Amino acid sequence: MQCWQAPLVGVFGQGPAPCRRLCRRPGLQAFAKLKYKTNIAQNHTKKSNFVSIDYDRLYSQPSYKPGRQYGPLKLVQLPGRGRGLVTDRSVQAGETLLLCEPVGGRVLDGPAGREPQPEELAAALEEWQREGKLGPADRARLRLLYEGPPADPSSPAPTAACPSLDDFRKLEDKLRRQGARDGGPKKARGKGFGAGPAGGAAGGAETGIDLASLSAPPLSPSELRRLAKYDSWGNAWGELGAAGLRGEELEAVMGIWPEFSLLNHSCAPNTVAFTVGSCMLVQAVRKLPPGAEVTTSYLADLALAPLQQRRQWLQGAYGFTCACERCQAESSLPPAVTAAVSAAYSAATAPAAVQLAAEARATSDRGALCELEGQLAGAVEALETAMEEAGLEGEVRQWLRCSAYPAYRSLAAIRDLPPPPPQQQQQHQPSDSGSSERRKARLPLDMARAAGAAPGAAAGEVGGVFSGLAGWAEAEVAAGGPQEAVGAAGLDAAFGGSSGDGSSSSSGVMFGGGSSTSAVQRPDQMPYSDPEVPADLAGIVEAVVAASDMHFYLVYEAMSRATELYGRDDPRVTEATKHVIRVLLTRYGRPSDKLLFQLLRSRMCVGHYLGDVTQLPPPPSSSAESTPGDGGLGQGHGALSAVPRDAGSALAAPLLGSGAAAAASPAQLRGAAEWAAAQVAAVEELAAGMRADREEEEGAGEEEAE
Ligand SMILES: C[S@@+](CC[C@H](N)C(=O)[O-])C[C@H]1O[C@@H](n2cnc3c(N)ncnc32)[C@H](O)[C@@H]1O
């Protein structure tokens, strides 16, 4: 399986992939009142009929081991897809569906940014088995997993029977009991405890599983290879928020989490999965009715690619033709729409476009990209028109935009670069469009505003956060150098540290006046950047990679830009802030507010640009360190600094992504975080209310189930 994380993740095994909503919106007054009703410290332990997790400890203490936890799920046979997990009551967005442990209690780790390969995992599994680190229950669990199509296609697929999800949780006990009944000592007997007489009658009768045959013999190298190919999951980065809080380095991980391996694929999945230490959490990203199949995406970057590319890859890697809702919708489109999706995708990912962008990004030369910009704008416009003419709406439109996402994203990235000098603009005018019209071709939704309508910008220009901060960074240098001015200590202060008002004393630049009602003041020379650009991109990716790192960084950037542009008390900033909180609560479940903010801070240490993740360099001086274990920025920086700064996402690579981020100086990246820091007070207030609201909804869901 492949999973998405930021920048993009690995996988259920297949090597690098070519790789909603919590709602009910009370007014602000209600949020403020609710804050007192929901003192978080009391609420961070989720105890329901299903899971009992202390989220605060999970995200901050490596010693905390909550064990296997299953939400309201059952394992069933599904037509054409083998087994799968379905809900047995309604589920809210942000509910934990699974908390799994990897087989052998261990994962294969590696340098962050480099995805381990399934063959490496297979070799590691062999070694663990040789060294006795895969116990009988581990082997039994592995034997319950899908092992790929049969060598002889006429024989049925060798999917082991598994009558209940609980068999995964209780295997240790069952094996131990069976061992006892068979008269052997409770500890390892012969081939391992649990290895009863052939047929394992007692265990078999009780569980439906032939325990002896499942657990006794070691798995062969070819079995381990198949399991690593079909059932593993990997992530090139680890958890960008929790790693710092837990005092862990960011590392690539790969392993097999048996219960998670029971999830089937969808190109528009309803969960997000990520690892914290070696545990894997699976969170619902939208409301699910009882009986809904719980799905994950096996695609990484290709989640944002057209139907044909997705199907081809899934067929090659896993041997099935995806027929999820998104695929079905995309396979029955009018030909004009299919052609427009494919043209937009190709315009952004064609080798010539990629090369051009690579050359231009070295110099932030937007002039060299005028023609490409025209092509992308034309392609996006054509797709929007085709969808309009075909009468497509809502979810389907968003899915199609996802399928052509590289075009939307690249266009936004180009328009965030400083505009070329007028002379160059003329030189590079797209020949076919003639046109400012074409150059200004509107992005859908409100992205159009980015193309020149935002107040204060010269027509046709969009100043990005990073390009926009350039002037400010220059001022910083003049005032004593960016390092001094925007070190992590400065950020700590911005988060309510010494100054408490978000101002950066060393730079002399005000980021949010002394009172909570004052608007953010910006240096004169700083252009604004349009918050709608990342907000609209977030709206697109939410349809297929909700609560992923990419989604988070887009909503976060929208909040950051809105704060910069409107001042923190503006209602638009409130909305953007709520969006950030929703994404965090969906991803992280139910940590206390304090922990939630620490996770937010920790994430803010990571450089990002339009959803592409890059890395900030380490803090420049010792003054930037924060107290170990406090989850502060110093620690986060320390952990993150191990990762090469240029290690952007695979998706970014095609066009501008990591290049644009790399073009931003450390001061600019930190500066962007600092703007957002002005939001923390507002975040705190809003989060409490939203959490209360959600708890009410969850409570109602559980009552309904009972
Ligand atoms: C990790 S396993 C998932 C659990 C599996 N269904 C089982 O019975 O154990 C991956 C395999 O499940 C099947 N599968 C997953 N998603 C599917 C889908 N959307 N349509 C058809 N088959 C699917 C494919 O055979 C794939 O190789």
Question: Tokens for 55?
Answer: 């989220």
- Residues contacting residue 223 through CB under 8 Å, at least 6 positions apart: 142, 147
Ligand 1 within 6 A of 310 CB?
Answer: no
Separation between Cα atoms, residue 478 and residue 436, nearest integer Å: 37
Alpha helices, DSSP H, located in 282-393 = 307-318, 325-331, 335-349, 351-361, 370-389
| Strand locations in 539-678 (E) | 608-609, 612-613
User: Which H or E run contains 265?
Assistant: strand 264-265
CA distance readout (Å), 547 to 43, 286, 397, 531, 552: 22, 10, 20, 19, 6
Q: Is 318 exposed, middle or buried (0-12, 13-18, 19+ CB in 10 A)?
A: buried
320 lines ligand 1 (CB under 6 A): yes
Q: With a 6 A CB cut-off, is 264 part of the ligand 1 pocket?
A: yes
Distance of CA 484 from the midpoint of ligand 1 (Å): 53
Q: How far apart are CA 658 and CA 645, in angstroms?
A: 9
Q: Which atom of ligand 1 is nearest to the CA of 157?
A: 25
Name the residue with the closest Cα to ligand 1, atom 27.
318
Ligand 1 nearest atom to the CA of residue 318, by list position = 27
| Spans in the chain with pLDDT lower than 50 | 1-42, 183-205, 428-528, 617-670, 672
ipTM of the complex, rounded to two decimals:
1.00
Single out the residue of 398, 312, 383 nearest to residue 347, CA to CA: 383
Question: Measured between alpha carbons, how far is residue 347 from residues 385, 535, 632, 664, 674 in Å?
Answer: 17, 23, 42, 25, 35
pLDDT attached to residue 115: 79
C-alpha span between 136 and 211 (Å, rounded): 9
For residue 446, how far is its CA from the centre of ligand 1 (angstroms)? 38
pLDDT at position 145, please? 93
Rounded to whole angstroms, how far apart are CA atoms 189 and 197? 12
Find out whether the peptide bond into 7 is cis, omega within 30 degrees of 0: yes
CB-based contact 340:388 (threshold 8 Å): no
- The number of beta carbons lying within 10 Å of the beta carbon of residue 212 is 26
**What helix, strand, coil percent values describe the chain, rounded to 5?**
50, 10, 45
**What is d(CA 416, CA 378) in angstroms, rounded to the nearest whole number?**
18
Q: How far is CA 548 from the centre of its chain?
A: 2
264 C-alpha to ligand 1 centroid (Å): 5
Best of 14, 100, 141, 146 to mutate for ligand 1, by most ligand atoms within 8 A of CB? 146
Q: What is the per-residue pLDDT for 434?
A: 32
Q: And the tokens for 210? A: 């032939």
20 lines ligand 1 (CB under 6 A): no
Report helix, strand or coil for 594: helix
CA–CA gap between residue 215 and residue 137 (Å, rounded):
6
CA 599 to mean position of chain CA atoms = 14
For residues 555 and 552, what is the distance between their CA atoms, to the nearest angstrom?
5
Q: What is the pTM of this model?
A: 0.73
pLDDT at 180: 59
Residue 266 · residue 236 · CB < 8 Å? no
The answer to whether the CB of 504 falls within 8 A of the CB of 674 is: yes
What pLDDT, on a 0 to 100 scale, did the predictor assign at position 697?
A: 73
d(CA 472, CA 467): 10
Distance 83 CA to ligand 1 centre (A): 7
Question: Ligand 1: which atom is nearest the Cα of residue 84?
Answer: 6
Nearest to 142 by CA among 160, 121, 119, 123: 160
To test ligand 1's pocket by mutation, which of 74, 83, 257, 265 has the most ligand atoms within 8 angstroms of CB? 265
How far from 541 is each of 267, 395, 595, CA to CA, in Å?
Answer: 12, 11, 26
3-state SS assignment for residue 222: helix
Pairing between β-strand 271-276 and β-strand 233-235 as defined by DSSP bridges: unpaired
CB atoms within 10 A of CB 408: 28
Ligand 1 within 6 A of CB of 257: no
| Residue 76 CB neighbours (<10 A) | 13
